[in-house]
Every structure is written in C-alpha cells, then in structure tokens.
Amino acid sequence: MKQKTIEYALRSTWQLITTMYNEKAMKYDATMTMAFTLLSIDAEGTPSTALGPKMGMESTSLSRLLNTMGERGYIERKPNPEDGRGVLIFLTQHGKEKRAFAKNTVLEFNNGLLESIDPQKMEHFFEVIEAIKTQVEKKQLIEY
C-alpha cells in the first residue's frame, strides 16, 4: 500500500536525493542545506528574516545554520542600511566558490534527468507537482 501513495513516492524520492547531495557536499565541508542556503542568498545581500520563509525553515534552525556557515567563512552578516534592526546576509568569496559548486551540482543532476527522461513526461511531472502544491496550499484536502 505505501508504495502506491503520493506521500510515500515523494518522501522516498526526496530522501534519496537528499542523501545523494549530502554525500557529495560532505566532501566539500558542507551539507545540502548549506548549499540550498548559499543558492538562496542574493548578490545584494538577503535579509536574514527573508531566508527562513524562502527556504521553509524555522528561525531557530536557520539561526544555527547561519552561525555554522559564518564560522566556516561562507557568509558574513552586515547591518541592513534600510532597517537598523535588520541584518543582511552576504556571501564571502569562499561562500561564492561553494555556491558555484552547489549550482553546478544541481545543474548536473537536473541535466542528467532531462537527458534521460522523455520531455513530455517531464512536462507532465511539473504539471502534477504544481497541481499538488496548489491543492495543498488551498488546505482543502484534509481537515485541520
């Protein structure tokens, strides 16, 4: 039964992808979550308060992650000139190098899939994923 549910298919596939990315990232003193964070930081700096919602992370987990990334020299925090209470997150040169590696890894994975799966099937895949997201966002599938 579990192999025929949408949740099982999504979760088990995501676990395999996460493991694959983490194994690769470990060789470069990083994690998949760090790579995702590096890819989510804009060149002009990103407010730390915007990163959590952008990445779907709780503030406590994000704060711990940003502290680790700062200690490793991937990011630096600077006061937000438009909001004295806020902080902008910037990539260091080392962080930019890690970001380029993360981007290349993601593109390598995506291009490999696109080369091996029929384009029409990929189009349907994205249509189905979008339909699932829309239904979940409506919160009408299950009672809360």
Q: pLDDT for 34-53, tens place per residue?
A: 999 999 999 889 998 888 88
Asked if 91 and 74 touch (Cβ cutoff 8 Å), the reply is: yes
pTM of the model: 0.82
Phi and psi of 59, rounded to 5°? -60, -35
Residue 56 backbone zone (phi > 0: left; psi -120 to 50: alpha; other: beta): left
% of the chain residues with pLDDT over 90: 65
73 or 7, greater pLDDT: 73
DSSP-H helix ranges across the chain: 6-26, 32-40, 48-55, 59-71, 93-116, 119-138
| 79 pLDDT above the threshold of 60 | yes
The end-to-end CA distance of the chain, in Å, is 24
Dist. CA 135–CA 92, nearest whole Å: 39
% of the chain residues with pLDDT over 70: 95
